[in-house]
Amino acid sequence: MKMMKVQRKSSLSARARYSAAALCALALLGSANAANAADPLQPDPELEAVTLSAPKPSWVFVERGFVAPGTTIYDTDTGKMLGQVETSHLSDLGLDPNGKAYYVAESIWSKGLRGTRQDMITVYDSATLKLKSEIAIPGRILIGSRKYNFVIADAGKTAYVYNLDPASSVNVVDLAKGKFVKKIELPGCASLMPVTGVGFSALCSDGSLATVKVAAAKPDIIRSAPFFSATNDPIFDNFGYDGVKQEAVFLTYTGQVYTAKLGATPTISDPFSIQAAAGVSPADTKPLDVHWYPGGRQGLAYHSGTGHAFVLMHTGEYWTHKEPGTEIWELDVAAKKVVKRIPLEDPAEEIAVTQEPNAKLIVSGSAGAGGSGALYILDAKTGEEKFKLEKSGGGVIRTLEP
């Protein structure tokens, strides 16, 4: 099937265009291995429009970042592209735990990049990737490529959308009824984690963890004692989160690891050094000191079944937290021990892990100077490369949560 090019229009009534071929689910019918394809995102002459199954644990969702809009779906078992969800620049994707829909928190303007602004959650059918509905919201922060700006809670019934209008706030959306519920002011806090039966938690600039009880007529906000320094050693906003166990794993710029048990009254552990867990000297904040540091735009992935975190690490000085990783360190969080170090020939900026028993790592090669921008699928146990998908990296990588 010959693919059509669809130009994005900004008026709300024009959203029906998403039924065009560019949003159809795609299945690769040819016998060529995706690992050898020059660019899996380019149309193949043997592509056919199909209906997708419900998302599987082996699937991975890769944003194209600033290269091109859209979030591409790959099957890590085959390395093949399955389809693409329409996600615009600076939008955020949410996955329905029931497998029936994909949600996109986004903003559009009536005249392209100016005019009347419209903020919404756009709902796509997971089988056809066609537009189902739009839920208007009062605003959202215009920063995409963040896993925890937009989160789905309550078994798919509720969404929390981070906003900045003008202070930090969170929009609460009833997904079951398709309507905005309320906005909760939350000054100085961001990075949202659903808390079952309570509402959500968020990291705050004073070093505390805020927990918001949403059900009350006036939301009840409780803050923990400060446990990290947002000025001297901040926490990465891409952390590990287990919604079933209600646990989180936080990592600071120097490599300090904290764990938190979420709930109405969360508990937070004392930190330990990931470098010490690997048998090397801990990093510090002193200028010109060279150590192993965590880094990348999405530098930590957490496998709930094993309790292991996979962290992109590089050598450098403090404040090199945006540098891509040259190694993956597998950390047994409970044992406080790095059990494996996987060297990377192609430095990586993003990492994710499938939540399968035989998990796969997905790493995105740096698209900067000298980088390939490729997407790699690795065996998490051995580090063996299963597939290399050229020009397929980009922004945030998401996998299905347990």
Give the domain ranges of the chain.
12-399
- Return phi, psi of residue 63, to 5°: -70, 145
Cα 318 to Cα 283: distance, rounded to the nearest angstrom: 8
177: left (phi over 0), alpha (psi -120 to 50) or beta: alpha
pLDDT for 89: 84
| Ordered DSSP codes for 79-92 | TEEEEEE---TT-E
pLDDT for 47: 56
Are the beta carbons of 204 and 223 closer than 8 angstroms? yes
pLDDT for 164: 87
3-state secondary structure of 77: coil
DSSP-derived secondary structure letter, 236: P
pLDDT for 136: 98
Torsion, CA 136, CA 141, CA 143, CA 147, rounded to 10: -70
pLDDT for 39: 57
pLDDT for 372: 67
Pairing mode of beta strands 308-316, 300-303: antiparallel
Please report, in tens digits, the pLDDT of each residue of the chain (402 residues total).
333 333 333 333 344 333 333 333 433 333 334 444 445 555 555 556 679 999 999 999 999 866 677 999 999 999 999 999 999 888 999 999 999 999 999 999 999 889 999 999 999 999 999 999 999 999 999 887 789 999 999 999 999 999 988 889 999 999 999 999 999 999 999 999 999 999 999 999 999 999 999 988 888 999 999 999 999 999 999 999 999 999 999 999 999 999 999 999 999 999 999 999 999 999 999 999 999 999 999 999 999 999 999 999 999 999 999 999 999 999 999 999 999 999 999 999 999 999 999 999 999 987 665 566 899 999 999 999 999 999 898 789 999 998
Q: What number does CATH give the domain 12-399? A: 2.130.10.10
pLDDT for 217: 81
Write the pLDDT tens digit of every residue in 214-270. 988 888 999 999 999 999 999 999 999 999 999 999 999 999 999 999 999 999 999
Closest CA to 194 of 242, 226, 228, 138: 242
